[in-house]
Chain A
Amino acid sequence: MARILDKLELTPVTRLFVVDAPLVARHAQPGQFVIVRVDEHGERVPISITDFDPEAGTVTLVVQEVGRTSGLLCALEPGEELLDLAGPLGRPAPLPDTGHAALVGGGFGAGAIYPIARELRRRGVRVTSIVGARTAGLLILRELLEPASDAYEPCTDDGSLGYHGFTAARLGELVEQGAGFTSCFAVGPMPMMRAVAETTRPSALPTFVSLDPIMLDGTGMCGACRITVGGETRFACVDGPFFDAHAVDFDEAVVRSKMYVDEERVAREPVLVDTLGGA
């Protein structure tokens, strides 16, 4: 059980939760995730850790309502409990100690890049955060991310704030303008991460994406989350979630992510469409 201490509505479909989880908070590192179960009939779902405070014993999770489980999660209120929360799982993001990192966050991914920005700055790495959403009102966590970044680059599909277009396009512009990136980390929807990979491939900029495949136990026991990276099968839950973006087989990852689209149609409640896009 993990008690919800605080809850914020970031957008109409995105919630931020501060959860009491002292052991998880104490060991969490940027790039890791937790597995959550909401009720006795519920699935085990992975959620990126957006923030962690070992002193307060809390972890912060950002959840976007896209289906049944995330819908149930978003309906929880402070004082209520998550039935299960296990973590921190996965390997920490492979962060550098020097240089200039481009962090790309699409939609809810803006939350996941925040702890990476914070840690990179602590190490003395220059941070440019490029975050995207469909429209200005859906951009999240600017108040956290902007102060944690040397440069903050909002992008909107409709041009209502910042760059008019996708994050990968803005990343490409900055590369061309000579931003001098030495590494890149991207978290968000699969098409966005794939576009980032293609953007940095020609220049061979070291790029890592946080893959979010279907998971079950999250501890390496089942292999549901297998991903092909550089021709080898890896488990995202224990070998990732961050992988070399230029070695990931995105075609396969996209196909596998749609394993249960038919079943999702008959889940206990209708599945909402992903209204954010965030590419």
Chain B
Amino acid sequence: MGVVHPTKTAMPTLDPVERRAVWDEVATGYTVERALAEARRCIQCQEPLCELGCPVGVPIRDFVRQVQLGDFAGAAATIATRNVLPAICGRVCPVEHQCEAQCAVLGRLEPVGIGRLERFVADWERAQPRSGTAARPVQRLEQVAIVGSGPAGLTVASDLARLGYGVTVFEALHAIGGVLRYGIPEFRLPKAIVDEDVERLRELGVEFRTDVVVGKTVTVDELLGELGYSAVFVGTGAGSPKFMSIPGENLKGVYSANEYLTRVNLMRAYSFPDYDTPVKRPARAAVIGAGDTAMDAARVSIRLGAQETHVVYRRTQAEMGARAEDYRRCAEEGAIFDWLTLPTRFLGDDDGRVRALECVRMELGEPDASGRPRPVPVAGSEFELQANLVVIALGTNPNPLIPQTTAGLDVDGHGCVVVDSETGATSRPGVYAGGDIATGAATVILAMGAGRRAARAINDYLEGDGDDDGGA
């Protein structure tokens, strides 16, 4: 191999100013030339540490090698052995904390752009003519019910359908995809990609039922009882938004990130009044929090016409949860980052609309329970930040519907369903869980990893060589 280029091959993106007004995907993807250049930066380690960093165990070295050789179809097949949603993961995985964090060249050089290559391969394959419908495997008698159609549920559905099980996915909303649909905006994950992945699962025989709120429309007990399902996977996500419990939180124009993003992504409020669901689109916006969701909300507010969007976070950039790439794009698009800033109340006008945040400056103190320096208010540093739209993006709690309505399902003090981390098995025989409902708010790929393990465990359970705790 020649000398490895010190930096990743650049990802082509839309112009930062032009994209402030459009919903098109910002990162337009590698060309063949760029993909080849980037793949050549991989030194093909004897022991590929990058693969240890992948929650679903994609054979990264091998697929990158195939890209080096121009065998993109082979690369796609290699990825598909472990990842059923590569076009999605190649876009939204926090690679800098996972595979790329383990890359051998890291330290001296930028890591190989594994996420970008995965996306390139997935997009290349999507662009090829489809060779007929995928052959369906031998059908088994058992039916499995999957609750929630987010990344965990879709992964379980795919794995079990390929094993020949009858699979029904129940979704509470009117569209499939969970957070991929309502949470992640079009400019970061085009909905056409989610649609295509869902369509492939349909071709595998997976049945999707929307508008079914499990726990309300039908219970887990009924699924396992009279409806005849042999096992249930619960992937209902971290559905319940956290608020701050500070004065003024219920003023008009104060949204949870879930509400703000759902209005825009699922209900297409950006096309109001062509679509009926409205959303506030004032000139001054503030987003509280600094995770991926906060970046999404800030970038949405900019596209909805905000002239000034602030991202307000009580810690510093070093502690933010957002992917570095999304942070950078958010900043490029003009968001203003107010680090070490804590809102203490929301101030309204006479009509009950939010007009400002009262904030206090923070400084970093001793480490707290999370190991990060604890932010401490600076006395006398109070100030007002003008904003007519506030989005609270401080995370979510597990959706309580299934635990509330399913007897014998243990939850922990945070409301998370208690599972065996290796299998996803819950306290209830035949019921498995994974993703945010079990771990608290995390990432798409971790949910997929949990789904992958649960699918394997469900297969073991249904084949009778799983845990024999009387549930079969």
Contacts and interface: CB of A to CB of B under 8 A. Distances in A.
Contacts of A88: 216-217
A44 B272 CA distance: 14
> Most chain-A CB neighbours within 10 Å: which of B182, B211, B250, B255?
B211
Interface stretch (B71-79, B258-266, B445-453): B258-266
Interface in B351-366: 351-352
Contacts of A143: none
Nearest to A254: B352
Contact of B239 (A87, A219, A233, A255): A219
B217 to A, nearest CB: 5
A217 B250 contact: no
Contact of A256 (B245, B252, B268, B276): B252
B218 interface: yes
B267 A43 contact: yes
Interface stretch (A78-86, A177-185, A193-201): A78-86
Given A43-B267, A216-B259, A266-B273, A87 B240 contact: no
A256 B174 contact: no
A255 B274 contact: no
B262 A223 contact: no
A252 B247 CA distance: 12
Interface residues of B, number: 41
B173 A252 contact: no
B245 A233 contact: yes
Interface in B158-187: 172-174, 182
Contacts of A24: 217
Most B Cβ at <10 Å: residue of A41, A83, A85, A264: A41
A36 B259 CA distance: 18
A259 interface: yes
Interface in A208-265: 216-217, 219-224, 226, 228, 233, 238, 252, 255-256, 258-260, 263-264
A255 B174 contact: no
Nearest to B271: A41
B250 A268 contact: no
A37 interface: yes
B243 interface: yes
B305 interface: no
A223 B258 CA distance: 8
A87 B214 CA distance: 10
A42 interface: yes
B29 interface: no
B249 A233 contact: yes
A228 B211 CA distance: 28
Residue with the highest number of chain A CB atoms closer than 10 Å, among B245, B272, B351:
B272
Interface in B261-288: 262-263, 267-268, 272-278, 280
Contact of A221 (B212, B262, B273): B262
A42 B241 contact: no
A216 B213 contact: no
B228 to A, nearest CB: 15
B216 A89 contact: yes
A11 to B, nearest CB: 24
B39 to A, nearest CB: 40
Interface residues of A, number: 40
B256 A27 contact: no
B190 interface: no
B250 A226 contact: yes
A216 B267 contact: yes
A84 B262 contact: no
Interface string B219-248: 000000000000000000001110101000
Contacts of B277: 43-44, 216
A89 B277 CA distance: 20
A233 B251 CA distance: 12
Contacts of B172: 86, 217, 219
Contact of A41 (B212, B250, B263, B274): B274
A23 B401 contact: no
Contacts of B250: 226, 228, 233, 252, 256
A56 interface: no
B399 A68 contact: no
A42 B175 CA distance: 13
Q: Of residues B182, B256, B259, B275, which shows the largest number of chain A Cβ atoms within 10 Å of its Cβ?
A: B259
Contacts of B278: 260, 263-264, 267
A37 B267 CA distance: 11
Contacts of B139: none
A149 interface: no
Contacts of A23: 212, 217-218
Contact of A223 (B256, B276, B351): B256
B421 interface: no
A268 B249 CA distance: 30
Interface in B333-370: 351-352
B7 interface: no
B88 to A, nearest CB: 20
B210 interface: yes
B216 A223 contact: no
A69 interface: yes
A262 B379 CA distance: 40
Contacts of B263: 216
B262 A222 contact: yes
B259 A87 contact: no
A224 B262 CA distance: 11
B400 interface: yes
Given A43-B267, A86-B172, A221-B241, A255 B352 contact: yes
Q: Which of B267, B268, B280, B400 has the most chain A CB within a 10 Å cutoff?
A: B267
A217 B262 contact: yes
Contacts of A221: 182, 239-241, 258, 262, 399
A260 to B, nearest CB: 5
Given A263-B278, A267-B273, A86 B259 contact: no
Contacts of A69: 276
Given A23-B212, A27-B218, A87-B217, A268 B276 contact: yes
Given A23-B217, A86-B217, A252-B352, 16 more contacts: A41-B274, A83-B174, A86-B212, A217-B182, A217-B262, A221-B258, A221-B262, A222-B262, A223-B255, A223-B259, A233-B245, A233-B250, A255-B351, A258-B352, A260-B278, A263-B278
User: Which 7 residue pairs are nearest across A and B when measured between Cβ atoms?
Assistant: A255-B352, A263-B278, A222-B259, A86-B211, A84-B174, A223-B256, A43-B276
Interface of A: 23-24, 27, 37, 41-44, 68-69, 83-89, 216-217, 219-224, 226, 228, 233, 238, 252, 255-256, 258-260, 263-264, 266-268
